[in-house]
A and B are shown apart, each in its own frame.
Chain A
Amino acid sequence: MLLYFLCLVLFSIGIFCILRKRNLIKIIIGIIIAEYAVHLFFALVGYRAEGRSPIFTPSENIFNMVDPLPQALVLTAIVIGLAVTAMMVAIAIRIYDKYGTFDITKIRKLHG
């Protein structure tokens, strides 16, 4: 139960960073934190108490094993997260080139 709660805390920290921080890089870090919280939660969903690794061996009977599917999905989600993070950082660098700042209150060319 504690683990799930910590997951929620991590997610909230991430969302807080996205909403409240003014620095582009800190916003990106916030997204990464929130993303990791979701990934962690996904991995926890597959967890079974006292479970063993889901590797089939003919010699022994397996009674309780963790669900391997979320782990595979989390790997995919991490790769997607990598692509998104790379995109974010690349755009942040270009913004820094143009505006000379990471402060979102100063990056306001768009109206409305």
Chain B
Amino acid sequence: MHNIIPIFVIIPLAGAFLTSLIGKKVKGVPDMLGNLSTACLLIASLLSISFVSKCGVLVYKVGAWVPPIGITMVMDGFTSFMLVTVNLVAFLVTVYSVNYMEKFTSKWTFYTLFLLMLAGMNGVIVTGDMFNLFVFMEIASVASYALVAFGTEEEELEASFKYLIMSTVGSLFVLLGIVFMYSYTSTLNMADMAAVLTQKGAGNITLFTGVLFLMGFGLKAAIVPFHAWLPDAHPSAPAPISAMLSGVLIKSLGIYTIARIFYNVFGMGAKFTEVLLIFGALSMVVGALLASGQWDFKRLLAYSSISQIGYIILGLAIGTPLAILGALFHLFNHSVFKSLLFLNSGALEYATGTRDMRLMGGLKEKMPVTGRTSFIASMSIAGVPPFNGFFSKLIIIFAAVQAGYIGYAFLAALVSVVTLAYFATVQKNVFFGSPSGALTASDGKVTKKWDDIKEPPVFMKVPVIILAIICIFGGLLIAPRFSQNFLKAATDALMAGKDYAATVFGGLGL
């Protein structure tokens, strides 16, 4: 049963290899291989939930080396939760790319890089080894640099270079942190590291490496002091990649790693809690304020990602079971509605040829599917009651009050209102309002005639509809029946703290 774990790395790697091998020659193969791989991954990740609920923690020994000597891959509730999130978005994004990527010349390069990035992300999530985590992180990052620059226009290259430099510096800090951790504990296995830290006592070196990891992974997650690359990089990528980057990449490389290392390896301390609380609140506020002033649709979404990441970090920092449940639920919800919004922005760009919201208006009639789904997503991200975003924000705010952080709870509620304000502006400018007849650029040139605007092709509609349905019914995930194996299992895995070591070594026998 533990043989399912390496599948999450093998399928995308094999898919990438095959796509690069035969995709160039045979037309249609890249689409097929890409969608097939992600569909298999989605099924496997759903299966992994039932496996974890049946057998507890699964451990796979790479090359049959016994840990702590060899590399292990670990699957607990948190892992399978993240895998479902990542692979769900990845599958819908590849379906969307079938039509969207037509306008680019080399589809096979796109799918190769996409699958490599997916392999990196899945690898980060399943691995139980510190250095292996770094390697997978770099695989995902290098693929994402190339994907951001995919259009090879001036802005895209510039954004990609900025992203590349900042992210590489982040990786350096992570590597440095791993070096310090290795020199202190003489092991690279995360479970063993946690055990050694408990035994030796976490001294100042844990604090120091904690700071290094916070810088490194914080850069990947775009928490506020380290966020400068995100508003450039995410809008510059093609829409499906923006959806992947904002939807899941920053979460699997940033949030997941922070949560896993700080909770399960270091054991959350008061000092880390304080720092993460401040960073979370800062991201929340700064992201929302910067987003309100944007006219570029994708740039606004990118800033709003920073703001929502702040919520997740805040929830993780508070650290009560309820807060972590809320944070993880918000993580899932955010990846759903943010990827939906980015896919919508892609559809808008596809239909109108612009991203400037001042030029749009009244598109609701011309593009009913895009209009309705983006309305659902906007209301969901702003936390309006029937949608999933409301429940996760409510849980986080409630948990903050319960834990005595009244100020942070107030801030979270306030930012939610700001979010509602700027998404209402988006809806008003883009989809409602009076049709402007034609989209006119600032220099008076007509970019697109009103009659030419129409709904995008079918493969671009199906994924957004599915995502919108998840947005509407996502709130049900906290119902005890559904959350038991999904959200609850993930929260329990994090709340176990340093017992992670014992459970991993206990899971070896299976």
Chain A residues whose CB sits within 8 angstroms of the CB of B168 once the complex forms: 31, 35, 84, 88
Contact yes or no, A70 B182, CB < 8 A: yes
The chain A residue sitting closest to B303, CB to CB, is: A112
Q: Which of the candidate stretches B28-36, B98-106, B142-150, B398-406 sits at the interface with the other chain?
A: B142-150
Residue-by-residue, is B59-82 near A (CB-CB < 8 Å gives 1, otherwise 0)? 000000000000000000000000
Q: Which of A18-46 contact B (CB under 8 A)?
A: 18, 24, 27, 31, 34-35, 38, 41-42, 45
The chain B residue sitting closest to A41, CB to CB, is: B179
Indicate if B161 sits at the interface (CB-CB under 8 A). yes
Contact yes or no, A87 B142, CB < 8 A: yes
Query: Of B158, B175, B179, B236, which contacts A95 at CB under 8 A?
Result: B158
**CB proximity of A90 to chain B, nearest CB, Å:** 9
**CB proximity of B224 to chain A, nearest CB, Å:** 15
Chain A residues whose CB sits within 8 angstroms of the CB of B176 once the complex forms: 38, 41
Question: A35 and B231 in contact (CB under 8 A), knowing A95-B158, A110-B155?
Answer: no
**CB proximity of B98 to chain A, nearest CB, Å:** 27
**CB proximity of A68 to chain B, nearest CB, Å:** 12
Query: Of A38, A91, A107, which contacts B149 at CB under 8 A?
Result: A91
Indicate if B135 sits at the interface (CB-CB under 8 A). yes
Contact yes or no, B157 A98, CB < 8 A: yes
The chain B residue sitting closest to A96, CB to CB, is: B157
Chain B contact patch, size range: 35 or more
The chain B residue sitting closest to A86, CB to CB, is: B142
Query: Of B145, B146, B161, which contacts A92 at CB under 8 A?
Result: B161
Question: A91 and B145 in contact (CB under 8 A), knowing A42-B179, A80-B135, A109-B158?
Answer: yes
Indicate if A16 sits at the interface (CB-CB under 8 A). no
Q: Interface centre among A76, A88, A112, by most B CB within 10 Å?
A: A112
Contact yes or no, A35 B158, CB < 8 A: no
A interface list, Cβ under 8 A from B: 15, 18, 24, 27, 31, 34-35, 38, 41-42, 45, 69-70, 73, 76-77, 80, 83-84, 87-88, 91-92, 94-95, 98-99, 107-110, 112
Given contacts A87-B142, A91-B157, 5 further A-B contacts (CB under 8 A): A24-B161, A34-B172, A88-B165, A91-B161, A95-B154
- 29 CB-based A-B contacts, threshold 8 Å: A31-B169, A31-B172, A34-B169, A38-B172, A42-B179, A45-B179, A76-B131, A76-B135, A77-B175, A80-B138, A80-B142, A83-B142, A84-B164, A87-B164, A88-B164, A88-B168, A91-B145, A91-B157, A94-B149, A95-B154, A95-B161, A107-B158, A108-B158, A109-B155, A109-B158, A110-B158, A110-B159, A110-B236, A112-B299
